[in-house]
Structure 1
Amino acid sequence: MAELPRVDRQVKNEAQMRDALAASRTTLTTLPGLGTVLAAKILRHIGDVSRSPTEHHFASCTGSAPLDASSGKMSATGLNTGGNRALNSALHILAVCQIRDGGRGQEYYRRKITEGKTPAAVRRALKRRQFIPGPEAGSPL
């Protein structure tokens, strides 16, 4: 019985999120693997995507852009621990769901793995592709 008030609040919050998403007229929820709660979280953190002048700026702000970790003759990229960590987490969940559930995300993942990329590098690239305008990735914002 103690769980009932918590569940009731959760249902009300999700209904409010659905209403807010409908009012914003976003197409975020059309992306595979993106439900109401995650879409609302992303919209809350992004706001207006046009604030980012380029997709590279957006990736840097979300912490999904790779960092150069090269030294001498060795060329490598490292994990970016900067940016909006909550938004990065939401993009990570979205990327993992798309890899798991099939479709374009899974095709992209498999193609990049066969090209020799590491799973972490491919997930980072998939996170970055989610909101890039153009035919390669559907920009829902």
Structure 2
Amino acid sequence: MINQLKAQLHLWLDHTPGDLARATTIASVRRLLKNCSLRPGVIEVMSDMLSELAAVNQRVRDLDLTIKQLVTPLAPTLLHITGISHISAAVLIAEIGDISRFSSSAKLARYTGCAPIPVYSSDKERHRLHRGGNRRLNSVLYTAAIVQKRREPAAQQLLARHEPGKGTRGARRILQRHLVDIVHRAMLDDRATWTHQVTQLAQAA
């Protein structure tokens, strides 16, 4: 919707707006349409597109708030990990389910596609990227790795240590694999908290 509206604004007004997910940008485009000299029919169509986009933006914000309210009590430890937002935590919870079904972080790493696959060539062992696994989880861990690269000193040190030998991509994959260990421990801690709370409620009842 945003791309379609930007195309129309560029075509009719030679104007490229900023972020149309922001209410202030939509308001500025409304003012632009109000003061332009286009035919009324064209203005009406673009005004309708703006109204529809504003409604979708509000729906997105409402859903973000709902997800935040649902995830916060379920994943307090997970949310303390740098790079894991409420949306990322929701994906992890929805895709993984009960973390106890993964008895080790290595099994979770394989499930997420973050475990390198050993390859043997000329009697030499090396590893290649695993392109299988759950791509939604892999995307969450990739995003977390990028955020940690920018903000987390420990992650920056790990990358600096491995980049000379593994390259930028190889070092980032090592960071992703390390993040699987952190996520696995965090989700186990959160599960223990749920179990304790449920036990207390059952005893109180």
TM-score w.r.t. length of structure 1: 0.85
| 1:113-137: CA deviation from partner (whole Å, max 9, x where unpaired) | 24x222222212211212426xxx8
Distance 1:102 1:12 in 2: 30
Structure that is richer in helix per residue: 2
**Aligned equivalent of 2:147, options 89, 93, 97:** 97
Identify the residue that residue 125 of structure 1 maps to in structure 2: 174
Change in 2 beyond 3 A, CA 1:99/1:20: same
- Distance in 1 (alpha carbons) for counterparts of 2:109 and 2:184: 16
Counterpart of 1:139 in structure 2 is: 185
Supply the distance in 2 between the matched residues of 1:17 and 1:113 (Cα, whole angstroms): 36
CA contact (8 A) 1:55 1:132 kept: yes
Q: Give the match for residue 111 of structure 1.
A: 161
1:1-141 pair list within 5 angstroms: 1=50, 2-114=52-164, 116-132=165-181, 139-141=185-187
Larger radius of gyration: 2
1:61/1:83 contact within 8 Å kept: yes
The farther-off stretch of 78-87 and 46-55 is: 46-55
Partners of 2:184 and 2:135 lie apart in 1 by 23
CA-to-aligned-CA distance 1:69-122 (integer Å, 9 cap, x gap): 2212343211101111111111111111111223221121112224x2222222
CA deviation vs aligned residue, 1:6-63 (integer Å, no higher than 9, x gap): 1111111111111111231432121112222122112211222221011111111111
| In structure 2, C-alpha distance between the alignment counterparts of 1:37 and 1:124, rounded to whole Å | 22
Q: Distance in 2 between matches of 1:126 and 1:50?
A: 23
RMSD: 2.0
- Structure 2, unmatched stretches of 5+, are 1-49, 188-205
State the distance in 1 between where 2:154 and 2:86 align: 21
Q: Which has the higher contact order (CA 8 A, sep 6+)?
A: 1
Q: Given that residues 66 and 80 in structure 1 are in contact (C-alpha distance below 8 angstroms), is that contact kept between their aligned partners in structure 2? A: yes
